[in-house]
Amino acid sequence: MAELSFNKDHGYLEGLVRGMKAGILTDTDYHNLAQCDTLDDMKLHLQSTDYGKMLSSSEEDLTVSLVDSKLRENLVTEFSCLRSNALPPLSTFLDYITYSYMIDNVVMLITGALKQRDVAEVLPRCHPLGAFDQMAAVGIARTPTELYSAILVDTPLAPFFQEAVSDTNLDEMEAEILRSKLFKAYLESFHSFCKSLGGATRDTMCPVLEFEADRRAFIITVNSFGTDLSGADRSVLYPSCGKLYPEGLQLLARAEDHEQVKAVADCYSGYKIIFDDPEPESGCKTLEDRFFEQEVKLNTLAFLQQFHFGVFYSYIKLKEQESRNIVWIAECVTQRQKSKIHNYIPIFK
Amino acid sequence: MVVLELEESSLLLDEKLLRFMDQLELLEEKRAALNSLIEQGWFSMSKARYSMGNKRVSALQYASEIEPLVCVHARTLDNGEVDFCIERSKQKARDEAGKEARSIEDIGPQEEGVRRRNKPKNNVPEKKEGEEASSEKAPEVTPIRKSDQNLQQDPLKWFGILVPQTLKQAQSSFTQVIELSAEIATLQTAILNSRQELKQCRKDKPILQEVSATRLEKLTD
């Protein structure tokens, strides 16, 4: 009976996150932002939203990259506020959210080291939500086994290295494979954690995570065409906690072109619409755009129920989409490509 | 005779003018295409940033030392025009790059490397000692050099192996821009040349006209 006991430990934070959700930009806000001609105009408009003086306080030149960094800082502040007040099992749940950023940071540090970039240069660009103590040492490792045994064994990412350890030297291909393997283990672990929590958390989170798993499988397949990653190589990268497991994943591993991937998607009603041919008026939306749209739809559903942890995950993901939207509008404004400015994804109508 | 010369010179002038105009029109078209391709390329990169994340498509992703994949060769032709042509260097196979690295002697400690020394044979006659000593001084080095292999790499791989379609589109736009730039540079020198020739012809024309006028006068007298 979650309704009876949830508020004791987590009621304040759920209230907080619902309050923050009310500040998510609306259609009017996006409409105003799209009318801007310069980044300064956008800064002015953002001041009247929950973002407030976020951009005004900075003395650096206003660039799209700065806007992105400030939006990210804002999200990190909100998340830290939630995490610092969280009790188990919410604290574990929130930690799970940070692991995906940790994985991205690890790969960014490895690729930075491959390009002989100074650690001091790469560290500030890492996502703050995925910070961990041993970050500075990651670039030294030469193989995934070394990375695990010397550096990451004491971090929360250690359990995800089960299938990722190998003695091949870390180059671009290995870094990509490492990213996918770690993410697969992470997603499957997160999925079983949410299942174990049960109740409304399981009902809202499991479909979202299953969608994420299937999305990764599709994107890995489509992006691997024309690269050195073969079907057999990529089949070990597909997370198995989605709807595509096991038959869909087997078919995807054998797919050689976009048409075959589309054929696999056609067997699943949720994914058929994503791969369908676009209407001529909607402009050319990429596959990733359509997946983002679907993700937004699934995440907004979390707020229809109470007394569960899904709202926290969904809030973070929706805020990320909002950041992407604002940065997209900023890019269109600076590059004077106003015709494509409406390709952002509105969140709450 | 002079009348004929004048007529020929006029026709030549017309021809040169028309050629000049055609070249200008072609230049305008190519410049418009270049601008549009550059805009497209940058916009595709923004779309890639949207899917991948802003910090994953940035200056951090490439090394500070890179070798160019494309070179521009300029050669001056007989008529004074300069022809710019693009040459793509073929990407070396990894083994080849490794062998070349071995031929370069590197003095000093190496960060990553496995040194394999020639083991001296135990039962060596005295007269061969000198040879052994010299071969010991030059150990065979088989470094695991990642940096050399990466110097000539498809720039798409800087951002990862599984990159979205939009980044590939950006790359193809910029590749076309490179080719177009060389054509535009060649065309620009050709236009400057044409303009010079045109000026020269226009200078010569009044002189010819004067000469033909005086000769006509003499004939009629």
Task: Give the Cβ contact number of residue B113 at 10 Å.
Answer: 12
| Whether B39 contacts chain A with CB within 8 A | yes
Residue B64's pLDDT is 81
Q: What CA–CA distance (Å, rounded) separates A130 from A314?
A: 18
CB–CB contact A172 B157 (8 Å): yes
Whether B119 shows a pLDDT value over 70: the answer reads no
Whether A125 shows a pLDDT value over 50: the answer reads yes
| Whether A104 contacts chain B with CB within 8 A | yes
What value does the mean pLDDT of chain B take?
76
Residue B91's pLDDT is 58
Chain B closest CA to A119's CA: distance in Å? 11
Residue A93's pLDDT is 97
Q: Which residue has the higher pLDDT, A279 or A267?
A: A267
Dihedral (CA of A139, A144, A146, A151) sign: positive
Chain B closest CA to A139's CA: distance in Å? 13
Q: Which residue has the higher pLDDT, A170 or A86?
A: A86
Chain A residues touching residue B56 (CB < 8 angstroms)? 108
Of A254-263, A295-304, B149-158, B167-176, the poorest mean pLDDT is in: B149-158
Whether B41 shows a pLDDT value over 60: the answer reads yes
| Whether B63 contacts chain A with CB within 8 A | yes
| Whether A327 contacts chain B with CB within 8 A | yes
Chain A closest CA to B196's CA: distance in Å? 38
Q: DSSP string of chain B? A: -HHHHHHHHHHHHHHHHHHHHHHHHHHHHHHHHHHHHHHHHHHHHHHHHHHH-GGGSSGGGS-SS---SEEEEEEE-TTS-EEEEEEEPPPPPHHHHHHHHHHS---S--SS-EEEPPPPPSS--GGGHHHHHHHHHS-EEE---HHHHHHS--GGGGG-SS--HHHHHHHHHHHHHHHHHHHHHHHHHHHHHHHHHHHHHHHHHHHHHHHHHHHHHHHH-
Least CB-CB distance to A335: which of B46, B60, B166?
B46
Q: How confident is the model at residue B145 (pLDDT cuts 50, 70, 90)?
A: very low
Residue A79's pLDDT is 97
Cα dist from A165 to A149, B144, B215, whole Å: 9, 20, 97
CB–CB contact A117 B163 (8 Å): no
Q: How confident is the model at residue A311 (pLDDT cuts 50, 70, 90)?
A: very high
Chain A closest CA to B32's CA: distance in Å? 16
Half-sphere exposure of B25 (CA within 13 A, CB side): 6
Q: What is the average pLDDT across B148-152?
A: 52
| Whether B162 contacts chain A with CB within 8 A | yes
Of A69-83, A102-116, A184-198, B127-141, the poorest mean pLDDT is in: B127-141
Q: What is the average pLDDT across B47-70?
A: 87
Q: What is the average pLDDT across B89-113?
A: 47
Strands B114-116 and B140-142: antiparallel
Beta bridge partners of B86: B72
Q: Which residue has the higher pLDDT, B121 or A164?
A: A164
Q: DSSP string of A67-110? A: HHHHHHHHHHHHHHHHHHT--TTHHHHHHHHHHHHHHHHHHHHH
Q: How confident is the model at residue B144 (pLDDT cuts 50, 70, 90)?
A: very low
Whether A197 shows a pLDDT value over 60: the answer reads yes
Whether B116 shows a pLDDT value over 80: the answer reads no
Chain-centre distance for alpha carbon A348: 19
Q: Which pLDDT tens digit goes with each residue over B152-206? A: 678 888 888 899 999 999 999 999 999 999 999 999 999 999 999 899 888 888 8
Residue B134's pLDDT is 38
Q: What is the average pLDDT across A69-91?
A: 95
- ipTM of the complex as predicted: 0.91
Q: What CA–CA distance (Å, rounded) separates B20 from B194?
A: 6
Chain A residues touching residue B166 (CB < 8 angstroms)? 286
Of A325-329, A333-337, B102-106, the poorest mean pLDDT is in: B102-106
Least CB-CB distance to B51: which of A176, A286, A335?
A286
| Whether B144 contacts chain A with CB within 8 A | yes
Q: What is the average pLDDT across A220-242?
A: 92
Q: Which pLDDT tens digit goes with each residue over A138-191? A: 988 888 998 999 889 999 999 999 888 888 888 888 999 999 999 999 999 999
Q: How confident is the model at residue A235 (pLDDT cuts 50, 70, 90)?
A: very high
